[in-house]
């Protein structure tokens, strides 16, 4: 019995098959080229993007409640809506944060009239509970930390150390070693929405930009090693200028409603 005509095998035309194959190859080559050009465009845009990098967001449930130099209890979350900087210090070893404290003082002067900017210094070695307020008040007066702009703040040591490492993304967990404090003395920059932000520095020779922490002790070591910045400023001065530019950029950003 002969099969119906519609079920008879089709006769394949080799020329049509080759043409279809070449069309598919051309589509794949063109598609790959378009993807490559799109990636090159994206990469070029990334290398020149100087927007401050988002590192981490401090959320309300992971906030730190502190006692300030005026004896009042406050939450760091209360600073939401402001751009603020925070550093850590050991009252018993003020030399360990000397460079960052000097930068903090200059920032306090520079932004004295800016209501949307604040500073916080977190104490790593708080005194006994019955001496906290008196100690903070005396230290703040001695160091020129004036409210409402600049908080000198404390919680118990364990809670503060955990917050510094997990939320401020410190490079070193604060601890005593052979009677000496080891901690990350870098200044941490927080935007209006509670994000930890860092500066982005494009590379002159191309490639991925450098994400800079505001570590002035490290900058001083670079200066001691003779590392050049390519400007008439040393590394510490260049980093302070970069910090100021990053703060200015964040002050112009709208508040994230999330």
pLDDT: which is higher, 19 or 115: 115
Q: Specify the pTM.
A: 0.77
Residues 43 and 60 in one domain: no
Query: Nearest-CA neighbor of 245 among 51, 35, 34, 23?
Result: 51
Dihedral, CA of residue 191, residue 75, residue 173 and residue 55, to nearest 10: -20
Strands 73-75 and 83-89: unpaired
Chosen domain end from 47, 70, 88? 47
What phi and psi, each to the nearest 5 degrees, are found at residue 40?
-60, -40
| pLDDT tens readout for residues 69-110 | 999 999 999 999 999 999 999 998 878 889 999 999 999 999
- 48 pLDDT higher than 60: no
- Count the residues in the chain: 258
In a domain, 2, yes or no: no
d(CA 164, CA 33): 47
Q: Are residues 160 and 247 in the same domain?
A: yes
Rounded CA gap, 162 and 166, in Å?
6
Q: What domain range is 121 assigned to?
A: 53-251
pLDDT tens across 25-39, in order?
Answer: 777 777 666 655 554
On average, the pLDDT of the chain sits at: 85
């Amino acid at each position: 019995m002969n099969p119906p005509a519609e079920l008879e095998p089709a006769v394949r035309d080799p020329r049509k098959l080759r043409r279809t194959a070449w069309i598919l190859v051309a589509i794949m080559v063109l598609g790959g080229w378009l993807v490559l050009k799109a990636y090159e465009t994206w990469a070029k845009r990334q290398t020149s993007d100087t927007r401050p990098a988002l590192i981490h967001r401090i959320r309300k449930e992971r906030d730190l409640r502190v006692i300030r130099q005026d004896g009042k209890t406050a939450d760091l979350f209360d600073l939401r809506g402001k751009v603020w900087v925070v550093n850590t210090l050991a009252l018993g070893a003020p030399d360990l944060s000397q460079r960052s404290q000097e930068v903090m003082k200059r920032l306090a002067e520079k932004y004295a009239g800016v209501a949307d900017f604040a500073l916080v210094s977190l104490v790593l070695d708080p005194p006994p509970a019955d001496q906290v307020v008196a100690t903070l008040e005396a230290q703040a007066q001695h160091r020129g930390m004036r409210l409402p702009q600049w908080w000198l703040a404390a919680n118990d040591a364990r809670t503060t150390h955990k917050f510094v490492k997990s939320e401020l993304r410190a490079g070193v967990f604060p601890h005593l070693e052979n009677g000496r404090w080891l901690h990350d003395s870098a200044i941490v920059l927080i935007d209006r929405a509670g994000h930890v932000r860092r500066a982005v520095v494009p590379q002159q020779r191309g490639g991925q930009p450098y994400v800079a922490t505001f570590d002035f002790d490290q900058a001083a070591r670079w200066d001691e090693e003779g590392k050049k910045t390519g400007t008439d400023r040393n590394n510490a001065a260049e980093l302070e200028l970069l910090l100021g530019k990053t703060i200015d950029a964040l002050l112009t950003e709208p508040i994230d409603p999330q």
